[in-house]
Amino acid sequence: ERDLALKNLTFPFPDFRPQQRALAESVYRNSIRQQTLLLEAPTGLGKTLGTLFPALMAMPTARHDRLFYLTSRNTARQLAVDAVHLLRKKQPGPLPLRTLELVAKDHACEHPDKACHGDACPLAKGFFDRLPAARKDAANHTGALTQGVLADIARQHGICPYFLAQEMARWCDVVVADVNRMFDQSALLHALVRQNDWKASLLVDEAHNLVDRARGMYSVELSQARLLRVRKQAPKALKSKLDGVSRAWQSVIRDHCPDISREPVMLDTLPGSLTGALNRLVSAITDYLADHPPDLALQELMFESLAFTKLAEVFGDHSLCELIRPARGKARLSIQNLIPADFLAPRFEAADSTLMFSATLSPGVYYRDLLGMPEDTCFRSLPGPFTRDQLEVNFTPDISTRQPDRERSLTPIAELIHRQYQQRPGNYLAFFSSFSYLNRVRETLQQQAPDLPLRAQRPGMSADERTAFLDDFNEDNAGVALAVLGGVFSEGIDLPGDRLIGAFVATLGLPPFDHWHDILRQRLEQRFGAGHAYTYLIPGLQKVAQAAGRVIRTPEDTGVIWLIDDRFLQPQIRNLLPAWWA
């Protein structure tokens, strides 16, 4: 019934947007040909509907069992759920398509202070006795199984909404979720694909974020402080194993970091004595919890230890080990992933077809290499709906934002921002490499242009403060907002029309030239022969393109971008900027 309905699926609008048909055709062909495609699709094409519609249409022909729409942002997840709802609403007949929204445990858990155990959490007790009735209600629900819908169903049956959603992932045709549900170490969707031999189609939105996200998925930190806290109140049955881990910690500190220091120490190999002690501790805690009431602190220590030992087993040149000891009893040992390709390659192999799409995915070879995508991965860049006369791009050959030149750059940057605002008053965003640099420019502007309306991002802003910051971008307002490049205001926000008419980017966005990044550069040079570009240039210019991309959001928008640094004029830098920029 599902496949029959999908064969006759109709687009919910009279016509496609400009270039949206080309987007949809690329997605459809990729699905039925069982290929992997990196698709650069500029803002304004309607990517959510333009990818979901053809991927759903292709499911019967490609014989796909499941479609997974994966994203790094909660707002993008909501857009995907809304797009499926719109498709369902606009069809002439019923669309039997079960759609599930998977959210993080932190967002779905009703009792975050309790262990996931029947003796600790009332929603876990008798879960499997009440699951069949709850699952039946969920399966018969006519709309999408969103977080709110599942919470209501779970509440009616007295079970955990998070684990009800996990169960429904087995029974739904479309799953909208975070990228970690397919790509991390214990990814639910990857496990289901393998267990059930599903032919799954992947749509990965905002795919440019996956490199950094995947590095986080395959990195872990071990805390000496957590061990010592648990050890103080631990039961006698676990004392010997906890003491063993504590002694192993002391041995690692004595051998590698005997003095208190905030500077990390890089270890060439993992300390075998510590990983062995952790394995014994995990086994002991597992046995203990099987016969005793649940203990949240013990559970957390067990999961942290288990995550570390799992990555320790596969430690290689794709990762590094870092030890830091800022104070007595507070040492931290981490495994930090540098090249996620080795871990992600099996995930891409498990998918029948994969579409990775974003407004910035150039050069495609960078993502193919770092993410471990198949060698025959295709790359395509679609022209956007914008024209060059919509965006005025300006360069500053006489201004350098290099660290030694920062102080000299303050006055020229302030004069430039003030002059642009006087020529065309409106809402502007100015991006800087750090809060320190941002504050120095703000002080200079306050001195030289006290009449200029200014506001600035602050470290650690709450959700309400971030919302208020964005709400000030309105058509009745005008002023310059200062923000940090790579922060919450440099991508993933929409300020169309006169809500934002210009941006200043006073940095190349390059990562710091520290010891960690130098090791990363060496590893990427050894593996791919492109250490400097893969470590510094490409990630930095991606941030610039994302930030400046806030200016033009619809085909009616016009605006101006100032790229403030003489290096933007270098050919190797300009070649990494969006091709449609004038």
pLDDT digits (tens, 9 = 90+) for 529-564: 999 999 999 999 999 988 888 887 777 788 999 999
Residue 582's pLDDT is 60
Angle subtended by helix axes 341-350 and 210-217, to nearest 10:
110
Q: Which of 72-81, 302-311, 532-541 has the lowest mean pLDDT?
A: 72-81
User: What does the alpha-carbon distance between residue 19 and residue 40 come to, in Å, rounded to a whole number?
Assistant: 12
User: What does the alpha-carbon distance between residue 259 and residue 344 come to, in Å, rounded to a whole number?
Assistant: 38
User: What does the alpha-carbon distance between residue 172 and residue 169 come to, in Å, rounded to a whole number?
Assistant: 6
Angle subtended by helix axes 406-423 and 435-448, to nearest 10:
60
User: What does the alpha-carbon distance between residue 156 and residue 399 come to, in Å, rounded to a whole number?
Assistant: 63
Rounded to two decimals, the pTM is 0.91
User: What does the alpha-carbon distance between residue 90 and residue 71 come to, in Å, rounded to a whole number?
Assistant: 25
Asked if 319 contacts 337 with a C-beta cutoff of 8 angstroms, the reply is yes
Write down the residue that tokens 């007295």 correspond to. Answer: 158
Tokens linked to 252: 């690692």
| Residue 74 pLDDT class (50, 70, 90 cuts) | confident
**ω into 450 cis (within 30 of 0):** no
Tokens linked to 554: 């619809």
Average pLDDT over residues 566-570: 95
* Residue 186 dihedral angles phi and psi, to the nearest 5°: -115, 45
Q: What is the mean pLDDT of the chain?
A: 92
Q: Quick one: what percent of the chain has pLDDT higher than 90?
A: 76
CATH class of 2-9+19-102+169-211+341-381: alpha beta
The enclosing H or E element of 480 equals strand 479-484
Tokens linked to 110: 């009703």
* Residue 101 dihedral angles phi and psi, to the nearest 5°: -105, 115
List the beta bridge partners of residue 356: 38, 204
Is 90 exceeded by the pLDDT of residue 445? yes
Asked if 319 contacts 270 with a C-beta cutoff of 8 angstroms, the reply is no
C-alpha Rg value of the chain to the nearest Å: 26
Residue 329's pLDDT is 93
Average pLDDT over residues 307-332: 95
Average pLDDT over residues 345-363: 94
* Residue 198 dihedral angles phi and psi, to the nearest 5°: -75, 150
The enclosing H or E element of 408 equals helix 406-423
**Cβ partners under 8 Å of residue 520, min gap 6:** 338, 531, 535
| Residue 370 pLDDT class (50, 70, 90 cuts) | very high
Is 70 exceeded by the pLDDT of residue 119? yes
In the chain, where the domains are located: 2-9+19-102+169-211+341-381, 220-337, 388-574
| Residue 385 pLDDT class (50, 70, 90 cuts) | low
Asked if 52 contacts 80 with a C-beta cutoff of 8 angstroms, the reply is yes
CB contact burial 152-183 (16+ within 10 A = b; e otherwise): ebbeebebbbbbbbbbbbeebbbbbbbbbbbb
* Residue with the larger pLDDT of the pair 124 and 452: 452
| The domain made up of 220-337 is a member of CATH 1.10.275.40 | yes
Angle subtended by helix axes 341-350 and 188-196, to nearest 10:
40
Average pLDDT over residues 468-492: 89
Nearest to 49 by CA among 87, 19, 90: 87
Map 195-215 to HEC letters: HHCCCEEEEECCHHHHHHHHH
The reply to whether 388-574 shares the fold of 2-9+19-102+169-211+341-381 is yes
CATH class of 388-574: alpha beta
